[in-house]
Amino acid sequence: MFTQLTDWFPVLLSLRVAFISVFIISFLGLPLARLMARREFYGKEFVEAAITLPLVLPPSVVGYALLVVIGKNGLLGKTLAGMGITLVFTWYAVVLAATVVAFPLMYQSAKAAFQSVDVNLEKAARTLGAGEVRIFFTVTLPLAWPGIVAGLVLSFARALGEFGATLMVAGNIPGQTQTIPTAIYFAVESGRNEAARTLVAIITVFSFLVIFWVNRWAKKQKH
Amino acid sequence: MSRVLLEVADLRVKAGGFLLRDINFEMMGDEYLVILGPTGSGKTVLLESLAGLRDIAGGRVCLNGKDITHEPPENRYLGFAYQDGLLYNFLSVRENVLFGARARGMAGDPGVIRRMEQLVESMGISHLLDRSPKNLSGGERQRVSLARAILTRPEVLLLDEPLSALDPQTRHAMQLLLKEIHSAEGLGIIHVTHDFSETLQLGTRVIIMNNGRMEQVGHPKEVFFYPATEFSAKFIGMENIIRGIIRKDNQGQLWFVLENGDLNFGPLSEGSFGTGQLPQTDEPAILLVRAGNIRLEHGDPPVTAVNCWEAVIRNVFFDRTHVDVYCDGKGLWRTSLSFFEWENLGLGEGDRVRLSVRPQDIHLISGEGHCDAEAMPSKGFKKYVF
What one-character-per-residue DSSP string does B132-197 give? -GGG--HHHHHHHHHHHHHTT--SEEEEESTTTTS-HHHHHHHHHHHHHHHHHHT-EEEEEES-HH
Spatial separation of the C-alpha atoms in residues B351 and B354, rounded to whole Å: 10
| Facing B86 at nearest CB: one of A124, A129, A134 | A124
| Facing B80 at nearest CB: one of A127, A139, A143 | A127
* Angle between helical axes of A141-161 and A91-116 (0-180°, round to 10): 150
Query: What value does the mean pLDDT take over residues A73-100?
Result: 90
Q: What chain A residue is nearest to B87 in terms of C-alpha separation?
A: A121
Using a CB–CB cutoff of 8 Å, tell me whether A143 touches chain B. Answer: yes
- A217: pLDDT confidence band, cut at 50, 70 and 90? confident
Query: What value does the mean pLDDT take over residues A191-208?
Result: 91
Using a CB–CB cutoff of 8 Å, tell me whether A222 touches chain B. Answer: no
Please give the torsion angle defined by the CA atoms of residues B309, B314, B318 and B321, in that order, rounded to the nearest 10 degrees.
-10
DSSP SS3 for B16? coil
* Angle between helical axes of A91-116 and A59-70 (0-180°, round to 10): 120
Question: So where are chain A's domains?
Answer: 9-222
Biggest alpha carbon–alpha carbon distance for chain B: 80
Check CB contact under 8 Å for A120 and B104: no
What one-character-per-residue DSSP string does B288-299 give? EE-GGGEEEEES
Check CB contact under 8 Å for A127 and B51: yes
DSSP SS3 for A68? helix
**pLDDT single digits (tens) A138-161:** 999 999 998 999 899 999 999 999
The whole-number pLDDT of residue A215 equals 84
CATH classification for the domain delimited by B4-225, as one of 3.40.50.720, 3.30.565.10, 3.30.420.40, 3.40.50.300 = 3.40.50.300
- A81: pLDDT confidence band, cut at 50, 70 and 90? confident
Phi then psi for A192, rounded to 5 degrees? -90, 70
Check CB contact under 8 Å for A124 and B80: yes
- Looking at the DSSP bridge assignments, the partners of residue B326 are B315, B334
Using a CB–CB cutoff of 8 Å, tell me whether A223 touches chain B. Answer: no
Query: What value does the mean pLDDT take over residues A96-103?
Result: 96
Pick the closest to residue A32 from A135, A122, A98, A107 (CA basis).
A107
Contacts of A123 in chain B (CB under 8 A): 48, 53, 73
The whole-number pLDDT of residue B246 equals 87
Question: Of the ranges B22-26, B238-242, B328-332, B370-374, which one carries the lowest mean pLDDT score?
Answer: B370-374
Cα distance between the two ends of chain B: 45
Spatial separation of the C-alpha atoms in residues B260 and B250, rounded to whole Å: 22
Check CB contact under 8 Å for B52 and A126: yes
pTM for this predicted structure: 0.80
| Facing B100 at nearest CB: one of A129, A139, A143 | A129
Q: Quick one: DSSP state of residue B275?
A: T
Contacts of A120 in chain B (CB under 8 A): 82, 86
Query: What value does the mean pLDDT take over residues B136-159?
Result: 92
Contacts of B88 in chain A (CB under 8 A): 121, 139, 142-143
Q: Which residue has the higher pLDDT, A222 or B336?
A: B336
Spatial separation of the C-alpha atoms in residues B275 and B290, rounded to whole Å: 18
Using a CB–CB cutoff of 8 Å, tell me whether B76 touches chain A. Answer: yes
Q: Quick one: DSSP state of residue B252?
A: S
Burial of residue A135 (CB within 10 Å: 0-12, 13-18, 19+) is: buried
Q: What is the CB-side half-sphere exposure of residue A70 using CA atoms within 13 A?
A: 20
Using a CB–CB cutoff of 8 Å, tell me whether A148 touches chain B. Answer: no
Q: Is the pLDDT of residue B81 over 60?
A: yes
Pick the closest to residue B19 from B49, B42, B47, B51 (CA basis).
B42
Q: Is the pLDDT of residue B90 over 50?
A: yes
Spatial separation of the C-alpha atoms in residues B1 and A146, rounded to whole Å: 54
The whole-number pLDDT of residue B379 equals 33
The whole-number pLDDT of residue B54 equals 93
Contacts of B48 in chain A (CB under 8 A): 123
What is the H or E stretch that residue B248 is in? Answer: strand B240-248
Average pLDDT along chain A: 91
Biggest alpha carbon–alpha carbon distance for chain A: 67
- B366: pLDDT confidence band, cut at 50, 70 and 90? confident
**One-letter identity of residue B64:** N
Interface test with A, best of B68, B88, B148, B150 (most A CBs within 10 A): B88
The whole-number pLDDT of residue B382 equals 31
Question: So where are chain B's domains?
Answer: 4-225, 230-384
What percentage of residues in chain A have a pLDDT greater than 90?
71
Using a CB–CB cutoff of 8 Å, tell me whether B73 touches chain A. Answer: yes
**pLDDT single digits (tens) A11-41:** 999 999 999 999 999 999 999 999 999 888 9
Residue B65 region, left (φ>0) first, then alpha (ψ -120 to 50), else beta? left
Indicate the length of chain A as a whole number: 223
The whole-number pLDDT of residue B85 equals 87
Strand ordering across the sheet containing B66-67 = B18-28, B4-15, B56-63, B66-67
Question: Of the ranges A171-175, B22-26, B58-62, which one carries the lowest mean pLDDT score?
Answer: A171-175
Check CB contact under 8 Å for A142 and B90: yes
Burial of residue B379 (CB within 10 Å: 0-12, 13-18, 19+) is: exposed
Distance, C-alpha B250 to centroid of its chain: 42
Check CB contact under 8 Å for A128 and B86: no
Pick the closest to residue A120 from B73, B139, B30 (CA basis).
B73
Check CB contact under 8 Å for A123 and B73: yes
Using a CB–CB cutoff of 8 Å, tell me whether B104 touches chain A. Answer: yes
Question: Of the ranges B17-21, B222-226, B265-269, which one carries the lowest mean pLDDT score?
Answer: B265-269
The domain made up of B230-384 is a member of CATH 3.40.190.10: no
Check CB contact under 8 Å for B52 and A142: no
Question: Of the ranges A120-124, B251-255, B375-379, which one carries the lowest mean pLDDT score?
Answer: B375-379
Pick the closest to residue A55 from A134, A186, A184, A151 (CA basis).
A151
Q: Which residue has the higher pLDDT, B1 or A111?
A: A111
- B167: pLDDT confidence band, cut at 50, 70 and 90? confident
Average pLDDT along chain B: 87
What is the H or E stretch that residue B364 is in? Answer: strand B363-366
**pLDDT single digits (tens) B177-211:** 999 999 998 899 999 999 998 999 999 999 999 99
The whole-number pLDDT of residue B267 equals 79
Check CB contact under 8 Å for B74 and A124: no
A to B CB pairs, distance under 8 Å: 55
Contacts of B77 in chain A (CB under 8 A): 129
Q: Which residue has the higher pLDDT, A154 or B374?
A: A154
Contact A9, A195 (CB under 8 A): no
Q: Is the pLDDT of residue B374 over 50?
A: no
The whole-number pLDDT of residue B320 equals 82
Which A residues 97-136 touch B at CB under 8 Å?
Answer: 118, 120-121, 123-131, 134
Which B residues 125-164 touch A at CB under 8 Å?
Answer: 148-149, 152, 158
Contact A22, A150 (CB under 8 A): no
The whole-number pLDDT of residue A109 equals 94
Query: Where does B190-330 have alpha helices with state H?
Result: 196-202, 220-225, 230-235
Check CB contact under 8 Å for B99 and A121: no
CATH H-level superfamily of A9-222: MetI-like (1.10.3720.10)
